[in-house]
Structure 1
Amino acid sequence: MSPVPPSLLPAVDTAVGTSAAPPHRYADALEPLLAVVGADLRAPLVGGDEVRYANLDYAASAPSLAAVADHLTDVLPFYASVHRGAGYASQISTSLYENARGTVRRFVRARPDDAVVFTRNTTDSLNLLAGCVPAGSEVLYLDIEHHANLLPWQARPHRSVVAAPSLAETLERVRISLSDGGVGLLAVTGASNVTGEVLPIAELAAIAHEHGARIVVDAAQLAPHRRIDMAAAGTSGEIDYLAFSGHKLYAPFGSGVLVGRADWLDAGTPHLAGGGAVREVRLDAVTWADGPARHEAGSPNVLGAATLARAAEVLGSLDEAAWQRHEQQLRAALLEGLAEIDGVTVHRLFDDSKEAIGVVNFSVAGHDAGLVAACLSAEHGVGLRDGRFCAHPLLKRLGLPSGSLRASFGVGSRLEDVERLVAGVRGLVEDGLGIDYAVDAGRWVPAHDSRPFPAWAPNTPGTAGAAPCLTDS
């Protein structure tokens, strides 16, 4: 039985409501905070029954906000090529695309002169920035990073810091490494995609700036869960660069963004060579553009940028207290439920972390993580993630080289999702598997899976594990 980490389990106010019946302890988590597409999706179970799908895989790709899908429907008739089109639809699309930059800038409270560059996703944003770090400057990163915030830096001068069991000691290790000199950029995650723990970004930024370095924050997980203030009122804790993805921000239409100081971006290697990124082209030479255009060659993802901006508007309008209460009650319920099951261990990075987003990582003793995930899906209609979460060095250090399980949730989640996950894990531990399972192309699947796919979706046998990286994301 795993104890609930006290510092990650907030106190829950139960003195709510005036009816004779006692209020539900997690009343604010009973219903979704915002409407999402697919909230009432029905999932078939092996055996013929079906249940409402419990989506606990938000950290991989969050469902679309209903407001974002509605916005897409509204703007789609006006979709056209941007910037140089004289037609009415082109002008509307250009306005959508360019105004999306201001919306994103306001959402993360960036500085007025920060560049906003639209990309494909967080990975693309960080690879773009890797081409803009001044020559001769090293990049420093932690061993807890997602591969997106680790691999781009390995092609240039770099060094890494192994995180300590405590955040306090980890910050000191970062400080010591920076004091050796030569580091131009500190690259850190805002919140762990493995455990959900939030890092002290303002403190890390202050340490970086104290030693003449800038900081980039991988906010793929942080942005969908927390208010971000890049400017930080002009203090030493301000963020120099921030990257995040639309598909984790409830706008799954293929866009990401990099926000940050323009000087490095204007002097850096253009991310793509092509039309739109130039001022003048000759047969044997080119004069590159400045500003976001320098890194946005080709026809941009207008709809992706527009929907990302709409998601930012909707999340930015939320009451912050209600937002955090909804998420933390879901997290508290899940941690408490898992702690009551023998053999379940909840994993964390730091023994002194006090804040975490809607991501919980756990394992079940004696059961392969992939098999547990398959069972929860086939027998309970619960979707969650198993594997190494594109964080191989971290999983190895946690003693989980073959992977673990990750449940993640957000504004569209409800308490029943968490309760069904806990009930499914308890049933597996106490009663065992309800059906037989087999390994198909590296993935656990029901040995006799009768669940139908929609008529429009291909269901080709033998492809369950055809893309190994899917188990790592």
Structure 2
Amino acid sequence: MTATEHQGLDVEAVRADFPILSRTVGEDTPLVYLDNAATTQSPTSVIEAMNEYYRTYNANVHRGIHQLSMEASIEYEEAHDRIARFIGAAGREEIVFTKNTTESMNLVAQAWGREHLEPGTAVVLTEMDHHASLVPWTQMAERTGAEVRHIPIDDHGRLDLERAAELIDDDVEMVSVPHVSNTLGTVNPLSTLADMAHEHDALILGDGAQAVPNRPVDVAALDVDFYAFSGHKMAGPTGIGVLYGRESLLESMVPFQFGGGMIERVTLDGATWAELPWKFEAGTPPIAEGVGLAEAADYLDHLGMDRVQAHEEQITQYAHERLAERDDVTVYGPPPGEDRGGLVSFTLDGVHPHDLSSILNEAGVAVRAGDHCTQPLHDCLGIPASARASFYVYNSTEEVDVLLEGLDTAREIFA
């Protein structure tokens, strides 16, 4: 019995749910898809749920009283309920649908930050933050005169919590932290950082883009004030993201996008806003994508998020150990364990990550190469770029072996 079977996740059965995995690339080479931290693939059930919307009840929501509009409205509203249950939120009022994690984090920076940041206040980020967190808060700080501070990482790619405790003081209004680093794979102690923030009456925003797809997440247990993630990283469609926010906070915030769908009453001189969460969803929302996202949550819950996490940890441990055996590879981030997510970033001596990715592509292996939208982190690591292999429910140790064979090919080419 394999470790995967012992955990109850039948990878071959799971792979059959994802039609794209049967395709080939190049000259009929089997696809080995290891770029899941960028975008996961979608199962047939998600694709069909969205097709069903377009085939049978395609209409705008909250706009009409005809049958199709009512059916679409019900499905779209229930999608909010489904995602609330998936992450442990109190209800749909705390779930705002956006385009992606980036828009969710911009929403908080704009709608909350512009009202609460000013000279003498501070925002605390980390050296491992994605650009989707770094840039919105840096831009808002420039506009408001607030200070931006950064929690450093240690030699193992973990946050320096002692330094964090020093940086989070009474001047801090917001702490924004990746739950799981998209480059190092580090699983950060979000609830511990939430305690630090709340001790100083600050709020905390969790970037859950690399966490929600891969492990059980309960926003109430984490005690976060805001939490953001994307559908396309959790077997769902592109074009939809989620912002969780405490209802009292969302209620107090003024929207940063205005127009149809988010208003209660409009006059020539002003407007009042619709109830939550609709006041933050201006214009025609991502209806089909919401339907698909709800189906993705159903699919992952059917697999079991505990099993999803266990499978990713097993694959990551195998990949990490095999890469670490090589004297021509440097692996970044903490070793496998409870504080490491399902990805491995590395460099191969003498081979630029872009060249390595191209060579791997010839073997059918899809990885990411570059700075992974974490340029400051790569500056801290002293490298311009890295290659990243990231795993999901349909990946196997055999696919990791194909990756390793590709490294041998690259080594021969650049010898």
1:284 deviation in Å?
A: 3.0
Report what 2:372 is aligned to: 389
**C-alpha contact (below 8 Å) 2:240/2:289 kept by paired residues:** yes
**C-alpha contact (below 8 Å) 1:114/1:259 kept by paired residues:** no
CA distance in 2, matches of 1:28, 1:321: 10
Report what 1:214 is aligned to: 203
Report what 1:239 is aligned to: 224
Gaps of 5+ in 1: 1-15, 435-473
Q: Letter of the aligned partner of 1:360 in structure 2?
A: V
Report what 2:381 is aligned to: 398
**C-alpha contact (below 8 Å) 2:185/2:344 kept by paired residues:** yes
Note the 1:301-450 alignment, pairs <5 A: 301-348=286-333, 354-378=338-362, 380-400=363-383, 402-429=384-411, 431-432=412-413
1:24 deviation in Å?
A: 10
1:189 deviation in Å?
A: 0.4
1:369 deviation in Å?
A: 0.8
1:333 deviation in Å?
A: 2.0
Alpha-carbon spacing, 1:143–1:23, altered in 2? closer, same or farther (3 Å): closer
Report what 2:258 is aligned to: 273
Partner SS, residue 164 of structure 2: helix
Q: Letter of the aligned partner of 2:163 in structure 1?
A: R
1:68 deviation in Å?
A: 0.8
CA distance in 1, matches of 2:256, 2:294: 22
Structure (1/2) with the larger helix percentage: 2
Report what 1:172 is aligned to: 162
CA distance in 2, matches of 1:340, 1:228: 33
Q: Give the TM-score, by structure 2 length.
A: 0.90
Per-residue Cα deviation, 1:184-219 (whole angstroms, up to 9, x for no partner): 221100100002111111111111112211211110
**C-alpha contact (below 8 Å) 2:81/2:91 kept by paired residues:** no
Partner SS, residue 395 of structure 1: helix
Alpha-carbon spacing, 1:113–1:52, altered in 2? closer, same or farther (3 Å): closer
CA distance in 1, matches of 2:69, 2:301: 28
Alpha-carbon spacing, 1:23–1:273, altered in 2? closer, same or farther (3 Å): closer
Report what 1:68 is aligned to: 46
Report what 2:77 is aligned to: 98
**C-alpha contact (below 8 Å) 1:187/1:218 kept by paired residues:** yes
Q: Letter of the aligned partner of 2:196 in structure 1?
A: I
Alpha-carbon spacing, 1:60–1:113, altered in 2? closer, same or farther (3 Å): closer
Q: Letter of the aligned partner of 2:370 in structure 1?
A: G
1:321 deviation in Å?
A: 4.2
**C-alpha contact (below 8 Å) 1:101/1:116 kept by paired residues:** yes
**C-alpha contact (below 8 Å) 1:57/1:384 kept by paired residues:** yes
1:330 deviation in Å?
A: 1.3
CA distance in 1, matches of 2:4, 2:251: 56
**C-alpha contact (below 8 Å) 2:216/2:306 kept by paired residues:** no
Residue of structure 2 aligned with 1:141, choices 125, 132, 137: 125
Alpha-carbon spacing, 1:121–1:387, altered in 2? closer, same or farther (3 Å): same
| 2:73 is the alignment partner of 1:84 | no
Alpha-carbon spacing, 1:225–1:26, altered in 2? closer, same or farther (3 Å): closer
| 2:146 is the alignment partner of 1:160 | no
Q: Letter of the aligned partner of 1:336 in structure 2?
A: E
1:26 deviation in Å?
A: 11
Corresponding residue pairs, total:
402
User: Quick check: 266-275 or 368-377, which moved more?
Assistant: 266-275
Per-residue Cα deviation, 1:41-78 (whole angstroms, up to 9, x for no partner): 1111xxxx321111110111111122211222222221
Note the 1:287-306 alignment, pairs <5 A: 287-306=272-291
Alpha-carbon spacing, 1:388–1:302, altered in 2? closer, same or farther (3 Å): same
**C-alpha contact (below 8 Å) 2:4/2:311 kept by paired residues:** no
Q: Letter of the aligned partner of 1:116 in structure 2?
A: I
1:25 deviation in Å?
A: 11
Report what 1:124 is aligned to: 103
Alpha-carbon spacing, 1:169–1:224, altered in 2? closer, same or farther (3 Å): closer
Structure with max Cα Rg:
1
Gaps of 5+ in 2: none
Alpha-carbon spacing, 1:406–1:242, altered in 2? closer, same or farther (3 Å): same
Q: Give the TM-score, by structure 1 length.
A: 0.79
CA distance in 2, matches of 1:354, 1:417: 23
Q: Letter of the aligned partner of 2:47 in structure 1?
A: A
Report what 1:444 is aligned to: none
CA distance in 2, matches of 1:362, 1:210: 37
